Amino acid sequence: MFAVETLNQGPGSPGQLWMQWVPLSWQPAAAALLGAATIVAVFAGLFALTTWLERKGLARIQNRPGPNRVGPAGLLQPAADGLKMLLKEDIRPWAADPWVHTLAPLLKVVPVFCALAVIPFGRHLVALHLDAGLVFFLAMGAITEVALFMAGWGSRNKYSLLGAMRAIAQLISYEVPLALAALTAVLAAGSLSLPAIVDSQAGWYPGGLARWHVFTPWGLAGLVLFFIGTTAKANRAPFDLPEGESEIIAGHLVEYSGFKYALFFLGEYLLLFGYSAVGITLFLGGWRAPFAWLDWIPSPAWFALKLLACIAWFIWLRGTVPRLRADQLMHFAWKFLLPLGLLANAAALLWQATAGWDFAGASLLRWGLAGGLVLVPYQVLGRMLLGAAAGRPRHYRFAD
Amino acid sequence: MSPLERALVVSALLFGIGLAGALTRRNAILVLAGIELMLTAVNLNVIAFWRHGGQTASAAGPAFVLFVIAVAAAETAVGLALIIAWFRQRRTVQLDEADTLKG
Amino acid sequence: METAFTVLALGMLVAAAAAMSLRNLIHCALCLVGAFGGAAGLFLTLGAEFVAFAQVLVYVGAISILIVFALLLTSTRAVETAQPWVPPRGLGPTVAGLVTGLLLAAVGLSPGLPEKTAATSAVSVQELGRELLTRQAPALLAVGLLLTAALIGAVVVALREPPPTSGKEEPPA
């Protein structure tokens, strides 16, 4: 359905033309196959593009040119890297558990591709329309934890196992605030289906601003929480402790080489794309335009634009923030994000309950109440987390 | 064999496997895993009856299974915490070594 | 749907049997993951989508990982060598076999089992939510309290106790 409808948006509906060559009984399977192939192709391409973007972006932040030899501005670097990965020897340590070691990269990539199927990439553009799409997505995201463990334990390497245990502890801890943040949008939309959540953000505020969830106090809090959780789920800096080159070499990836290593890389980036896409769907209006006068731009273009903006943000974050310590990571999740997630839900409920107010200054009062419910604990919890350091003036040892 | 019977046979076999594991393994954690398998079998039974019992309009079946899953999660968390606390005391998780109260 | 059910059921039973009989404890845990995944697939074929996803989320994503963590935390030796799989002294397998036989006999001998499947009208998530928040609301609240209590209880139980100042027993080797 997915690809056929995409193609139909072009002139002369080529999707139908293509489909009429397929026998009627095979059409559902053919349409599903076409959708799956589209998702695999588009996201594998985006993965290649992102590796280039990331290397260029990090290079820009660190004042160096970055890849610039293969192709114009180094654009063909991903292809060269992919070729190199394919040609490298596939090394499996002698002591490693053969099955577990081999299955781990597959188990990392396949569920993430499945998870991408429920995301609406444009108007009517969803490969798999599920009533409980969000739960499906989170469930598929949870399988990667098992893959990480298999990679870490199956390699029979102390660093691998340490990295895997760190990774699992991190993933489990950050799944809680992630799910809580997603719940705020579910509360507002009254549905777990991602297309329905996009529909709940239809319409415009007076002045032409879109009615996205991010333009409400709880939505803003939810967005921030969700993207912090995404950073941690995708093992990206500043939450890349599981890899931690300086401490445990590369964690669960130590013993992987060649194509299997590339699969892990692919899985990590796909997870990042998937969670960013869900974050966009939940809080940033999905494929909807931000202003009424920009509504004529096709919906997939908006989605791609938002996704690229998210990726740029993640690259920026990686180039800017240093890695956390393991204890800081856990304190941050359980003592800061978790209470804030609960409070964001409370604020969303308050927002819903006060939706009927229509006296003078009602919206101002609603903003104050719901925003205060999130902002005041944010300050208090942040100070508690920082401890004595919160009171001292900041001192930058190397920058002064 | 009707679909309902097939599902019931599968869940009975799963229950048997879980029970056998829970009764024969010496590692306390695997006993807990066997209990989880038994709970899954029970869930399968509930869903099979909900699906094939002619009462599909009611959502009571899935709701019941969700409760069972939640209780199973709570049970595992507390059970594993107990096992770890016990391990700290005795440095073992083999059930046949838990015999301090034996007369 | 029938082939899918059969394949998933066979896979699940094999994985469950492996999880309960393998020597390597981590292999047991990984097979357990497979068994839970197979059960989720069976829920899907039976038309209970939400339950299947919840099964994956809770069992594969949380419970299996907890079990793996506990295995690695508790058994420094056991992971490598496991316990020798002693052929159990009869009683356990006998009881399990008897119970399974009883269940199978009950299934086979029941006269009143519905022969045909009801019309396919899987319950939507909305209906499930309505059911949970109306008829089952007390149970839902009780489950919430139970989960909170379990969370706090597990933390308290597993918390490392401060070392006693005197009269400390030597832990048995």
% of chain A at pLDDT higher than 90? 14
Within this chain, do residues A136 and A52 fall inside the same structural domain, yes or no?
no
Within this chain, do residues A59 and A179 fall inside the same structural domain, yes or no?
no
The Cα-based distances of B101 to B23, C111, C173 in angstroms read 20, 48, 19
Chain B, 2 to 21: residues with Cβ < 8 Å from chain C are 2-10, 12-21
Give me the domain span that covers residue A76: 1-87
Does A263 reside within a domain?
A: yes
In a mutational test of the C interface, the residue from B32, B69, B97 whose CB has the highest number of chain C CBs within 10 Å is B69
B26 touches chain C (CB under 8 A): yes
pLDDT, mean of residues A107-129:
86
Chains B and A contact (Cβ–Cβ under 8 Å for 3 or more pairs)? no
Using an 8 Å Cβ cutoff, are C57 and A138 in contact? yes
Please check the confidence at residue A143 and state whether its pLDDT lies above 70: yes
B56 touches chain C (CB under 8 A): yes
Q: Which residues in chain A have Cβ-Cβ distances shorter than 8 Å to C155?
A: none
Using an 8 Å Cβ cutoff, are A246 and A66 in contact? no
Record: contact A150-C30, CB cut-off 8 A? yes
DSSP 3-state assignment of C46? coil
Please check the confidence at residue A390 and state whether its pLDDT lies above 60: yes
Does A141 reside within a domain?
A: yes
Instruction: Identify the CATH assignment for B3-95 out of 1.10.287.3510, 3.40.1190.10, 3.40.50.1010, 1.10.230.10.
Output: 1.10.287.3510
Record: contact A150-C72, CB cut-off 8 A? no
| Confidence bin at B15 (pLDDT 50/70/90) | very high
Does C90 reside within a domain?
A: no
The HSE-up count of residue A324 (CA atoms within 13 Å, CB side) is: 21
How many residues belong to chain A? 400
Tell me how far apart the alpha carbons of residues A234 and A242 are, in angstroms, rounded to a whole number. Answer: 10
pLDDT at A309: 93
Calculate ∠ Cα A281-A282-A287, nearest 5°.
25
| Confidence bin at C146 (pLDDT 50/70/90) | very high
Q: Which residues in chain B have Cβ-Cβ distances shorter than 8 Å to C59?
A: 36, 40, 69, 72
Please check the confidence at residue C118 and state whether its pLDDT lies above 60: no
Q: A77 burial class (0-12, 13-18, 19+ CB within 10 angstroms)? A: buried
Does A400 reside within a domain?
A: no
What's the number of domains chain A is made of? 2
Does A136 reside within a domain?
A: yes
**C46-C49-C50-C55 Cα dihedral, nearest 10 degrees:** 70
Does C64 reside within a domain?
A: yes
Encoded amino acid at A373, one letter:
L
pLDDT at A310: 92
Within this chain, do residues A283 and A197 fall inside the same structural domain, yes or no?
yes
**Interior/surface letters A243-253, b for 16+ CB within 10 angstroms, e for the rest:** bbeeebebbbb
User: Which of A69-78, A152-161, C81-90 has the lowest average pLDDT?
Assistant: C81-90
Reported in sequence order, the residue ranges of chain C that DSSP labels E, i.e. its strands, are none
Within this chain, do residues A79 and A100 fall inside the same structural domain, yes or no?
no
Q: Nearest-CA neighbor of A266 among A44, A115, A92?
A: A44
Does C20 reside within a domain?
A: yes
Domain finish residue from C15, C46, C81: C81
Using an 8 Å Cβ cutoff, are A289 and A210 in contact? yes
- Give the count of Cβ contacts less than 8 A between chain A and C: 59
Domain finish residue from C81, C109, C136: C81
Q: Which residues in chain A have Cβ-Cβ distances shorter than 8 Å to C50?
A: 131-132, 135
Number of Cβ within a 10 Å radius of residue B91: 13
Does C21 reside within a domain?
A: yes
Record: contact C147-B74, CB cut-off 8 A? yes
Using an 8 Å Cβ cutoff, are C28 and B30 in contact? yes
Please check the confidence at residue A6 and state whether its pLDDT lies above 80: no
| Confidence bin at C1 (pLDDT 50/70/90) | low
Two tokens, residue B96: 């046949």
Using an 8 Å Cβ cutoff, are A251 and A242 in contact? yes
Domain finish residue from A44, A63, A87: A87
Query: Beta partners for A209?
Result: A291
Domain finish residue from A67, A87, A107: A87
Q: Nearest-CA neighbor of B18 among C66, C13, C103?
A: C13
Within this chain, do residues A31 and A93 fall inside the same structural domain, yes or no?
no
The alpha-carbon gap from B45 to the nearest alpha carbon of chain C, in Å, equals 10
- Read off the pLDDT of residues A325-372 as tens digits, 9 standing for 90 and up: 888 888 888 888 988 999 999 998 888 888 877 777 878 888 888 888
Domain finish residue from C81, C115, C145: C81
Domain finish residue from A65, A87, A109: A87
Q: Which residues in chain A have Cβ-Cβ distances shorter than 8 Å to C72?
A: 161, 165
Within this chain, do residues C5 and C77 fall inside the same structural domain, yes or no?
yes
Using an 8 Å Cβ cutoff, are B29 and C67 in contact? yes
pLDDT at C81: 45
Give the helix, strand, coil percentages of chain B, each rounded to 5.
Answer: 80, 0, 20
- Read off the pLDDT of residues B16-70 as tens digits, 9 standing for 90 and up: 999 988 888 878 888 899 999 999 999 999 988 888 876 656 788 888 899 999 9
Record: contact C57-A142, CB cut-off 8 A? yes
Tell me how far apart the alpha carbons of residues A240 and A391 are, in angstroms, rounded to a whole number. Answer: 29
For chain B, which residues make up each domain, given as ranges? 3-95
pLDDT at B54: 64
Q: To the nearest whole number, what is the mean pLDDT of chain A?
A: 84
Calculate ∠ Cα A307-A312-A316, nearest 5°.
150
What's the number of domains chain C is made of? 2
Tell me how far apart the alpha carbons of residues B91 and A112 are, in angstroms, rounded to a whole number. Answer: 39
Does C172 reside within a domain?
A: no
Nearest to B9 among C104, C117, C136 (CB): C104
pLDDT at C110: 79
Q: Is A207 left (phi over 0), alpha (psi -120 to 50) or beta?
A: left
Tell me how far apart the alpha carbons of residues B25 and C18 are, in angstroms, rounded to a whole number. Answer: 13
Reported in sequence order, the residue ranges of A237-346 that DSSP labels E, i.e. its strands, are none
Greater confidence, C30 or A22?
Answer: C30
Record: contact A132-C53, CB cut-off 8 A? yes
Number of Cβ within a 10 Å radius of residue A111: 24
Please check the confidence at residue A10 and state whether its pLDDT lies above 70: no
Nearest to B2 among C86, C113, C123 (CB): C113
- Maximum mean pLDDT: which of A186-195, A308-317, C125-134: A308-317
- Read off the pLDDT of residues B65-95 as tens digits, 9 standing for 90 and up: 999 999 999 999 889 888 888 888 777 777 7
The alpha-carbon gap from C102 to the nearest alpha carbon of chain B, in Å, equals 9
pLDDT at B103: 63
Record: contact A130-C49, CB cut-off 8 A? yes
Within this chain, do residues A157 and A82 fall inside the same structural domain, yes or no?
no
Give me the domain span that covers residue C65: 1-81
Does A393 reside within a domain?
A: no
Chain C, 22 to 81: residues with Cβ < 8 Å from chain A are 26-27, 30, 33, 49-50, 53-54, 56-57, 60-62, 64-65, 68-69, 72
- Read off the pLDDT of residues A282-338 as tens digits, 9 standing for 90 and up: 998 888 888 888 888 888 888 899 999 999 999 999 888 888 888 888 888 888 898
Does C34 reside within a domain?
A: yes
Sign of torsion, CA C28 C29 C34 C35? positive
Does A394 reside within a domain?
A: no
Nearest to B17 among C13, C28, C114 (CB): C13
Chains in contact with C, where contact means 3 or more Cβ–Cβ distances below 8 Å, are: A, B
Greater confidence, A360 or A160?
Answer: A160
- Read off the pLDDT of residues C33-85 as tens digits, 9 standing for 90 and up: 999 999 999 998 888 888 899 999 889 888 888 888 888 887 655 444 445 45
Within this chain, do residues A102 and A232 fall inside the same structural domain, yes or no?
yes
Record: contact C113-B4, CB cut-off 8 A? yes
Q: DSSP per residue over B20-48, as a string?
A: HHHHH--BHHHHHHHHHHHHHHHHHHHHH
